[in-house]
Structure 1
Amino acid sequence: MTKPHFIALVGTNADFSYNRILLQFMSRTYTDQAEIEVREIADIPLFNENQMKNPPVSVTALSAAIDAADGVIIASPEYDHAIPAALKSVLEWLSSATHPFQNKPVMVVGTSYGVQGTVRAQTNLRQVLDAPGVQACVLPGNEFMLPTVKDKFDQQGQLVDDRSVSFLGQCLANFVQFAALNPVSVSA
């Protein structure tokens, strides 16, 4: 059986992000389960409704990559109890100019400096992914929220907490099964 190909979106435009490190860790560590392609959102401009009919190349390229993928993993930090404005803007592009998330399996993960992980951002992100125009198929449960992240990765970007590694691997295995049960047609 062929391994699924997932697009993993870094949910921030910041130069340094533990969420990027988390996705890079996943792409290196769980190669037996899936091919995970980490993608950035920093080059996508602020959503502009006036450009919906002619979106920037960065938007159409990301949309095409999501269309071709078996699923999407989104790693988001939490800013003021919500997802970052940069991620919200990307989702606005992808729900207005194009619609690659419709019926696409999505897994939500996140890391943060605080003790509550990304609980509010993940709730916010799940609401956005359920909105008309987005209509993603979000993996229920399996909420991976890595709190107090500063001491969770070593200098090589390896997640050093064995329980977190095990739980993340189980969440990904569940997502692989979920994506296989929710196949989407690839746009021509």
Structure 2
Amino acid sequence: MSQILVVVGSLRQESFNRKLAEAMVKLAPPDCSFTFAEIGDLPLYNQDDDANQAEPVKRLKAQIAAADGVMFVTPEYNRAMPGVLKNAIDHASRPYGQSAWAGKPAGVIGASIGAIGSALAQQHLRNTLAYLDMPTLGQPEAFIQVKDGLFTEDGQIGEDSRKFLQGWMNAFLAWVRKHA
């Protein structure tokens, strides 16, 4: 069974990316288990705290350690990944030399109302993941534009996007199995 940690880079209650993440999980086969990371309660990263990390940081690092792979679902804020996501990444990568992320296979996906989805945020995130030594799925890329029909009333992926997003999920899970 593949254990996947889902990290959503938005704290907004009605987040499109949270909805996307929840709908993507429904596309996975039953031999996959998904855990959603809570990143909203992490303190702001401060290197002075590396020797005595807060409980929410320890929880995140334990979730990463237990995962076979990580699915990042990110919005785009000002052409970059959100600060809350970067904060979580920084916490779990510290102290230096003890990154919980190292070696974990990753997939990056995201949604926005803009025509290019979250393409620039994803590129920003991919640069960071490369530095963290996370083998990251390169293809297919998924820059999702949020528009009518993306989600059904019951929280599934809509018919027009289902085949493409099913393909992304299948490729991501194969990537995790290959690298886990």
Aligned to 1:49: 47
**1:117 aligned onto 2:117:** yes
SS of the residue corresponding to residue 72 of structure 1 reads strand
**1:89 aligned onto 2:66:** no
Question: Percent identical across equivalent pairs?
Answer: 29
Correspondences of 1:127-142 after superposition (within 5 Å) = 127-131=127-131, 134-142=132-140
Is the contact between residue 33 and residue 176 of structure 1 (CA under 8 Å) also seen in structure 2?
no
SS of the residue corresponding to residue 153 of structure 2 reads coil
SS of the residue corresponding to residue 90 of structure 2 reads helix
Aligned residue type for 1:21: K
Q: CA deviation at 1:40?
A: 2.6
Match of 1:178 among 162, 170, 175: 175
Any gaps of 5 or more consecutive residues in structure 1?
184-188
**1:61 aligned onto 2:31:** no
SS of the residue corresponding to residue 16 of structure 1 reads coil
Distance 2:117 2:126 in 1: 15
Q: CA deviation at 1:31?
A: 3.5
TM-score under structure 1 normalisation?
0.88
Distance 2:31 2:140 in 1: 16
Q: Deviations over 1:4-36 (max 9, x none)?
A: 110111112222211111111122332336222
Is the contact between residue 16 and residue 146 of structure 2 (CA under 8 Å) also seen in structure 1?
no
TM-score under structure 2 normalisation?
0.91
Distance 2:48 2:148 in 1: 40
Aligned to 1:72: 70
Q: CA deviation at 1:126?
A: 0.1
Q: Deviations over 1:60-106 (max 9, x none)?
A: 11111111111000000000000001101111111123511101000
Aligned to 1:154: 152
Q: CA deviation at 1:125?
A: 0.3
Any gaps of 5 or more consecutive residues in structure 2?
none
**Cα–Cα, structure 1 residues 22 and 77, in superposed 2: closer, same or farther, change >3 Å?**
same
